[in-house]
Amino acid sequence: MRSQTGFTIVETTVAAGTSGIRARDGRSGLSVLELITTVAITSTLIATGLPNVSRTLQAYNLRGAAREMFAQLQTARVAAVTHNVHYRINQVSGSTHTYTVQEDLNANGIVDAGEPITTFNIYDRAPGVASSFTGPISFAPNGTASSFGTITLTNRFGDSRSVDVNAAGRIQID
């Protein structure tokens, strides 16, 4: 049917369970209520999943920090053998995320003038991970550990990983 204005009148019937909005050219759309419901359900699903994602990221950071600590210890052990000097790894006093690697040229267990020392911050690569040393760890020129112990790494959820060094200089992640 054509009116005097030139517009075509379209009659549609709405079947049960379908959207009642239709454009004149036959395309269907969503009602405001359907759109709000979809946004609400999507928001709820995202809000439910975010804590799990955060915990998973913290677990990855913890494992990464343990592997990095393992690599740092292994590097110090190899350097001790290669350079025929003692290497010492120690937590910085009063810090839960900073440690030092020292080339102990005279094997006296303290930092003397002229001895190279490098400071590392766990937060740089693993935010939210704290460390706790049982004491300084020293590697002798033959690769054994003249002082040994455990480094415990903990994330903000309380999960932890340990990196152990035994008297033979063997390094292991538990």
Q: Alpha-carbon distance 73 to 136, whole Å?
A: 12
Asked if the structure places residue 33 within a domain, the reply is no
CATH of the domain at 79: 3.55.40.10
Q: Alpha-carbon distance 43 to 65, whole Å?
A: 33
Q: pLDDT digit string (tens) for 151-171?
A: 999 999 999 999 999 999 999
Nearest C-alpha neighbor of 116 from the set 141, 88, 148, 94:
88
* Residue 72 in this model has a pLDDT that exceeds 60: yes
Q: Which of 67-81, 91-105, 121-135 has the highest mean pLDDT?
A: 67-81
Q: Alpha-carbon distance 110 to 134, whole Å?
A: 17
Given this model, what pLDDT does residue 23 score? 55
Given this model, what pLDDT does residue 62 score? 94
Asked if the structure places residue 142 within a domain, the reply is yes
Asked if the structure places residue 64 within a domain, the reply is yes
| First-residue to last-residue Cα distance in the chain | 81
Nearest C-alpha neighbor of 122 from the set 157, 101, 96, 148:
96
Asked if the structure places residue 63 within a domain, the reply is yes
Asked if the structure places residue 23 within a domain, the reply is no
The answer to whether 98 and 120 have CB atoms below 8 angstroms apart is yes
Asked if the structure places residue 25 within a domain, the reply is no
Q: Residue range 52-67: average pLDDT?
A: 88
* Residue 5 in this model has a pLDDT that exceeds 70: no
H/E stretch holding 168: none
Q: Residue range 95-113: average pLDDT?
A: 88
Provide the mean pLDDT of the chain: 85
Q: pLDDT digit string (tens) for 18-34?
A: 555 555 566 677 788 88
Asked if the structure places residue 158 within a domain, the reply is yes
Asked if the structure places residue 106 within a domain, the reply is yes
Tell me how many domains the chain contains.
Answer: 1
Q: Which domain holds residue 116?
A: 46-173
* Residue 12 in this model has a pLDDT that exceeds 70: no
